[in-house]
Structure 1
């Protein structure tokens, strides 16, 4: 299969926090080097995000069909894409659960702002990325080792240093985006949203 040519510097991965008081992880590639940073306030986050063509966000970017807003009290807690995640036995938190409501609200605002700037915005899920590749979600060493192999295949250097979980998750968002644009990801679509997850590429580490 011939893969489409992409520019790696067009992609941004965002591990979004539900509140500006907590760190949001960003990951992107520049001059064949993987870079990460932590930001807090929306202003700095948006200032960075508008520089990219494709943005992949770890946050719910839509509401379940039948729900007008995130604070509405009704029986609709899952989107079709959430149920497809469940069918794949990938664990996740419902978007109406506790702090997920704030994350969803912030994610949707970020999505709307970026779409208005003609930027492509996608919802991704680091937990699914790790599960697909059989890497424990909180095992930082195993995650970093996997990223090194993955990025080496792209000709990209990643610094060998301690990373926060927010940084690691943002890298998984970025890599999911690259996989999508090269035809190597699954799009779990429904009438009320879409989540991008990787297709299996490698044997179990």
Structure 2
């Protein structure tokens, strides 16, 4: 059994972060999906469930404005925000801190942008995406949980070697290959 995490990180622990962990063991299933607030809760879940890859919806490299990798994504039709903006700076700082701790736990951490990953997958919504990879979703998800589930699927596909990688001198962002018609 191998687990993959997706984290739709909020800039402040006062706001909810969506977290999803999926497991690959004779099929795919959701092990956890929900909203967490504190760094301790997020890290505690990661420590307990031990994913091999975590895809985080937050910039993991700095930038004063748009990074070159962001400009490449924008050129391809994806809508991303630069880590240099004030609100994004707080998100970046939290993401880098958590990523460092998770890497210390042996988790590979990658940057993603769930709405862009959903678009690149060709799927109309997160429920269709989940179905396309064999995950059953039995409840209505919040936007943060949807983004976390997409991010966990990016982590899964990265683990399998099936992602789109946008790379520049100042970072890399992982999206999904086409999964729906």
Where on the TM-score scale, by shorter chain, does this alignment land: which range?
Answer: 0.7 to 0.9
Task: Please give the TM-score of this superposition, normalised by the length of structure 1.
Answer: 0.78
Unaligned runs of 5+ in 1: 1-6, 65-75, 136-141
RMSD over equivalenced CA pairs, Å: 1.8
Q: Which string of whole-angstrom CA distances, capped at 9 and with x for unpartnered residues, describes residues 172-200 of structure 1? A: 00111112222221111122211101122
Gaps of 5+ in 2: none
Contact 1:187-1:197 at 8 Å conserved across structures: yes
Q: Look up the match of 1:147.
A: 129
Higher strand proportion: 2
SS of the residue 1:130 aligns to: helix
- The answer for the alignment partner of 2:146 in structure 1 is 168
Q: 1:44 aligns with which of 41, 45, 66?
A: 41
Specify the structure having the higher radius of gyration (Cα): 1
For normalisation by structure 2, the TM-score amounts to 0.87
User: Where do 1:43-122 residues align within 5 Å?
Assistant: 43-50=40-47, 51-64=50-63, 76-122=64-110
How many residues align? The count is 175
- Seen in structure 2, the aligned counterparts of structure 1 residues 86 and 148 have a Cα distance that, compared at 3 Å, is closer
Q: CA deviation at 1:148?
A: 4.0
Runs (4+) of structure 1 exceeding 3 A deviation are none
Tell me how far apart the structure 2 counterparts of residues 146 and 36 of structure 1 sit (CA, whole Å): 17
Task: Verify the 8 A CA contact 1:14 1:173 in the aligned structure 2.
Answer: yes
How far has the Cα of 1:134 moved from its partner?
A: 4.4
